[in-house]
Amino acid sequence: MESPFLRWRNFLSDSAARKKYEDYVKAADAKVGAFLEFDADRGLGLVSDANPGADLAGVPFAVKDIIAVKGFHLTCGSKILENLVSPYTATAVEKLIARGGVMVGKTNLDEFGMGSSTDNSALGKTNNPWDQGRVAGGSSGGSAAAVAAGMAAFALGSDTGGSVRQPAAFCGVYGLKPTYGAVSRYGLVAYASSLDVIGVCARSVEMTRAVFDIIRGQDEKDQSSQAGGSGPAAKNRVIGVLGGNLGLDPAVDRAYRKTMDFYKAQGFELREINLAMAEYYVPVYYTIATAEASANLARYTGVRYGYRPDYAENPEELTRKARSEGFGSEVKLRILLGTYVLRSGFQDQYYQRAHKLREAIRADFDKAFGGAGLILMPVFPTQAFLRGQSGLDQFQQKLADRFTTAANLAGLPAMSFPAAVEDGLPVGMQFMAPAFGEALLFDAIKLYEAQFPCPVPPSYKPEWIEGS
């Protein structure tokens, strides 16, 4: 089979192509704002063996700025880490560079991955390539926007509660959230460690599959990583779908029906499943995620690295000022919530209870996958929303995480794909599979892609972009 990277191979070693590409990124990113840092030269410098035959030779890719790449900033979208330059490289990125891939830049995100719009970044604004007045989604909004606008062949993001799938859906690209532990988290700055996973944004199913195959695997530097093997075989041709009133915007509802009709016409059996625990996904997710975040973010004290206030009387004041001046309001809110649910004497009421519910959510999916081979559901109840009053506020955004957080809580793989373009904006749907069933996701979505390829945003159509 033809390599999915063919179109991009040796792209950066041909000086004419490279100049065209760099000029394009400069012009496009002035409008999109996907990158916090872009430097193809520095990226090329990380490739030690310039083997033009390597599958990723000269292929530009981008990395969410919460994943470490040596010599590049590692800001996490936060003022508290604004000046931090990473002394090491994440395993997933290391593996791509070893195949000749060129890490061209670090992409914008909601601070520490907390959000669904990328507007919670302290360091820049990212616009949706389909409509500049709308958000790119989040928290990996920069990664999804860079890929959608053809500024990188693919990009890495992280998905704790939907942060690869949701921006991919908003920007009209593919977004994979692998099985928990399938990809090493070494070099991924921790938000909520029991939910975090590095994922992939790309413009084709085969490229997503190829990147995943490179970055996956056990890593001695991450004890929770696993080899995974070849994964489960396709169980049957039954697709579980959600019934009842899902509270979707009309365009998303139409797209959900369109995908169901498509798979039915392909000979799949669609079966309505009852996910009894669905109402608990969001509260359980926000209890566990904030609890873990409050512990993970305790390390930013302003002492060893990161933002330092101009003046402090003593170490305690230094830390207090560094944290109150360095963190944004959403991050502070979550640290407070996390500390609240973990406080002594109240753990039974919130944190332990959330863990019991998480177990029940896992069991619910085991049951669902007893009958269905795959589950098809929306990614988000709306398309890319507007900024400001007409958009969604932080609380509404959290409630809207009700479809994506399930895969993280249960540790299962899920992948979003561009299902339709409605009113000039893409709509994404997602498949979920049993643990290590990524290949099942790729195979199912490939059928859809053959008929409805990745859409191209009208204002961003460089000649090297794939799709229709």
Catalytic residues: 64, 139, 163
What is the rounded CA–CA span in Å between residue 337 and residue 188?
Answer: 23
Question: Does residue 139 interact with ligand GLN by CB under 6 A?
Answer: yes
| Among residues 161, 306, 326, 455, the one that binds ligand GLN under rule CB under 6 A | 161
Helix (H, G, I), strand (E, B) or coil at 42: helix
Which stretches of 71-224 are assigned E, i.e. beta strand?
102-107, 127-128, 131-135, 154-158, 174-177, 198-202
Stretch that binds ligand GLN, among 55-63, 121-129, 156-164, 410-418 (CB under 6 A): 156-164
User: Amino acid letter at 74?
Assistant: L
Residue closer to ligand GLN by CB (options 139, 208) is: 139
Question: Does residue 289 interact with ligand GLN by CB under 6 A?
Answer: yes
Stretch that binds ligand GLN, among 113-121, 343-351, 366-374, 458-466 (CB under 6 A): 113-121
Distance of CA 189 to the CA centre of its chain: 14
| Among residues 159, 219, 292, 449, the one that binds ligand GLN under rule CB under 6 A | 159
What is the rounded CA–CA span in Å between residue 275 and residue 281?
Answer: 10
Stretch that binds ligand GLN, among 111-119, 121-129, 224-232, 265-273 (CB under 6 A): 111-119
| Among residues 115, 199, 240, 381, the one that binds ligand GLN under rule CB under 6 A | 115
Residue closer to ligand GLN by CB (options 163, 382) is: 163
| Among residues 401, 411, 419, 435, the one that binds ligand GLN under rule CB under 6 A | 401
Residues 6+ apart with CB under 8 A from 135: 117, 118, 119, 126, 127, 128, 141, 170, 384, 385, 386, 387, 391
CB of 395 to ligand GLN, least distance (A): 11
CB of 280 to ligand GLN, least distance (A): 16
Question: Does residue 117 interact with ligand GLN by CB under 6 A?
Answer: no
Write the CA distances from 151 to 32, 98, 166, 462, integer angstroms: 10, 21, 19, 9
Question: Does residue 160 interact with ligand GLN by CB under 6 A?
Answer: yes
Residue closer to ligand GLN by CB (options 102, 184) is: 184
| Closest to 32 (Cα-Cα) out of 160, 127, 113 | 127
Show contacts with ligand GLN in window 21-60 (CB under 6 A). none
Backbone φ and ψ for 158, nearest 5 degrees, come out as -130, 150
Residue closer to ligand GLN by CB (options 114, 242) is: 114
- 149, 57 contact by CB (below 8 A): no
Question: Does residue 116 interact with ligand GLN by CB under 6 A?
Answer: yes
Backbone φ and ψ for 418, nearest 5 degrees, come out as -70, 115
Residues that bind ligand GLN (CB under 6 A): 113-116, 139, 158-163, 191, 289, 401
